Amino acid sequence: MKVVIITGGSRGTGASTAKICAARGMGVVLTYNRNPAAADALVASIAAGGGTAVALKLDVGDVGSFLAFREEVASVLRTSFARTDFDFLVNNAGHGLYNPIVSVTEEEFDGLFAVHLKGPFFLTQTLLPLIVDGGHIINLTSATMRVAFAGVAPYASFKGGLEVLTRYMAKEFADRKIRANSVSPGAIRTELGGLNEEFEATLAGMIALGRVGEPEEIGGVIASLLSDDNRYINAQNIEVAGGYII
């Protein structure tokens, strides 16, 4: 059984990814930060469908916790999957901020940096010894890297840095045949998206398909990239945005 670790896997895009990966026969280790009840409910739902999932607490913004997290992962791999390694890492955890550049605080800036760029960098570094040769890393970026949308400058900037980091991962991990790609969602109906009816209608008018996306439409792309069908895709950023401002 292939095993995937999905950060921020208890809700939104991460939860949809976890469900789809489990339905395709993968074992899932999902992380949560503040909502253990949602994580436990998702694990139970996956188990009810015949899959295997485990939830672990992780604050992606706390690099100092990563070594202890790796030990937890190693233990779960042994007890739940009879493995000493895993196949796929999906760096998905994150949070949004809608604030123009003139009023962004240093605390807000640092918080976004810690979760969206520093965290994925050092978490990947920490977990790398447990990733199988021929494994795959997927980083979640954002369509706001390509289309500037006022109020999300720090978030988009760090997502842009994560896209660059993805290519460097593909380059530096090539000797182990570990692939690295990024998936770039557009407007998706999640808590992070902060959508209300008026905002959703505005965004829909900017999208060729005329609607915002659903979390499972991102999860499906991620699961597909992890399959052998796409084993020759590497060092790419895949935008999943319905044709956002084309």
Report the catalytic residues. 155
C-alpha to C-alpha distance for 62 and 44, rounded to whole angstroms = 27
Q: At what angle do helices 12-23 and 36-48 cross, to 10 degrees?
A: 20
Question: What is the helix (H) or strand (E) element at residue 180, kind and residue range?
Answer: strand 179-185
C-alpha to C-alpha distance for 14 and 185, rounded to whole angstroms = 12
Cβ neighbours of residue 87 closer than 8 Å, sequence gap 6 or more: 2, 3, 4, 26, 131, 132, 135, 136, 226
Q: How far is CA 243 from each of CA 148, 213, 215, 221, 240, rounded to the nearest angstrom?
A: 15, 11, 16, 15, 8
